[in-house]
Structure formats: C-alpha cells, structure tokens
Amino acid sequence: MRFCATRVGTRSIYLVNVGWLADYLSEGRDIAPPAKLGFVMFAASLLIVVAAYLLGSVPTGYLLVRIFRHEDIRSVGSGNIGATNVLRSGGKGLGAATFILDVLKGAAAVWLGALLASMLMPDMNYRDAQSLAALAAVIGHMFPVWLRFRGGKGVATGFGVFVVAAPLAALAAMALFAISLLITRYVSLASIIAAVSFPVFAWFSVHGDRPPLFIAVQSGVSLLIIAKHHQNIRRLLTGCESRIGSHSKAGTIA
C-alpha cells in the first residue's frame, strides 16, 4: 500500500491511496484493498500455471502406446514420447492421434487459463493469462512430472497453445513446417524452422493489446522448442539425421 504525506505546521497528514480510499468509503466494503488485490492476482496466476502445467504434462504418446501396443515408447526409436517417435515406431494411427491430442491439450490449457482469469480476476489482462497458460503447458509437455520430467519437444503442444493465443501466426508457422517437411523430409529441421518463424509471424499478425509478457512467451516457447532439438541439430550438422520415411532407428521427435 502506498502512502502520501504532507506536513501542515507540526503535524503530518497521511493520505492512504486516495483514489482507492474514496471508492472504498463511497461504495462500501465490496472493494478489496490493494494488498488483498495483489494476493488474489498471485493466487489466480498460480492456479492458471498449475492447471495449464498439469494439462500439458499429460503424456499422450506414452499412454496411447502403452494402452494399445503394450509398449513403452521411451524404449523405442529416439525414446521420446511425441508424435514423430510414435509414428516411427510403426503406429501411424497412434502417431496421428498423439499429434492431435497434444495440440488439443495445448489449446485447452490456454482456453482454461483465460477462463480462470475471467472468473477469478476479471481485471487481469487476458493475454497475460493466455501467456502464463501457454508457457506452463509447453513446459508441462517437455518436463512432465509423471515421467520424471522427460517429455517431448513441444512442437504439437506449442502449436496448440498458439492456435488459441495467436491463431494466424500459428497457422502460418504450421504451413511453413509442412512446406519445409515436404522439401527436406526432416521433421526436426521443419520443426526448428517453424519455431524460428513463429515470433516473426506473431509480430505482424497479432493486433491490439500486446503486453510484454505475451511477446516474451512467444519468443520463450520458440527458444525452448529449439533447445529441445539440440541433439537433432548435431545430427543435422553431421549428416546423420533421419528423414521421415526412413527406417533408421535414430528418429527425431517433434
């Protein structure tokens, strides 16, 4: 709480957050003091982060392969739990289902984050709420608590979170992914190109309010996805990376 002080003679008169106090006295006790508002904001933000992380941490690829093939996807191919490794393991239908579900859980996390903010803290910037949820969901996918923090690389989940938060940019990045994949047949390279391009597309396609957190999360998620592909980058540089459709066990996962 901020105090303003002024001296009159030998006495000090303290004005306590004058704007809030005037509203408080005129409208009754329904208006929360600044300290309480700060706590509510923190609690709402924490709830958004936890809910989005838990949604993002659902290991869809691992669960689908375990349920339908009775295998541990972590012991197959690249050992990753994402859609590409599921596809390389021979499960085309499971690979497609993994991709779709990973996209949906990312989108659901951002939608839920905005909903919780509107219910618990209507004055919270909705893009900030979306940003918190987007980052938490992608981190949940990459580092799921259920699998000892060894998850996927976040491409599908990242696409899902930004389909809600920045749909035109997400669709443009996915189109570039598809074109890159058709030309190179490297899933990892196409994923990296899409991750690099997304913040650029978002900068030009997102209009209206763009708070600093929203911009920072766009770049942060892209950097996380690229960092998760560090082994793929090494293989690309040495010419050892597997192309989609090859029979190599050194698969890459998006």
Parse the chain into domains and list their residue ranges: 1-31, 36-238
Confidence of residue 35 (pLDDT cuts 50, 70, 90): low
Q: Is 121 helix (H, G, I), strand (E, B) or coil?
A: coil
Mean pLDDT of 40-48: 89
- Between 90 and 176, where is the model more confident? 176
CA 4 – CA 209 distance, rounded (Å): 32
Mean pLDDT of 129-154: 95
pLDDT of the residue at 22: 44
Tokens read off for 106:
């990312």
Percent of the chain whose pLDDT exceeds 90: 65
Is the per-residue pLDDT at 7 higher than 60? no
Mean pLDDT of 80-102: 90
Is the per-residue pLDDT at 29 higher than 60? no
Residue type, 75: S
**Angle of helix 212-228 relative to helix 155-165, nearest 10 degrees?**
160
- Between 2 and 135, where is the model more confident? 135
Tokens read off for 13:
């008169």
Percent of the chain whose pLDDT exceeds 70: 81
- Between 251 and 65, where is the model more confident? 65
CB count within 10 Å of CB 95 equals 21
CB count within 10 Å of CB 237 equals 9
Is the per-residue pLDDT at 10 higher than 70? no
pLDDT of the residue at 153: 95
For the chain, give the number of residues. Answer: 254
Compute the Cα dihedral for 22, 25, 27, 32 and give only its sign.
positive
CA 65 – CA 68 distance, rounded (Å): 5
**Containing H/E element for 15?**
strand 11-16
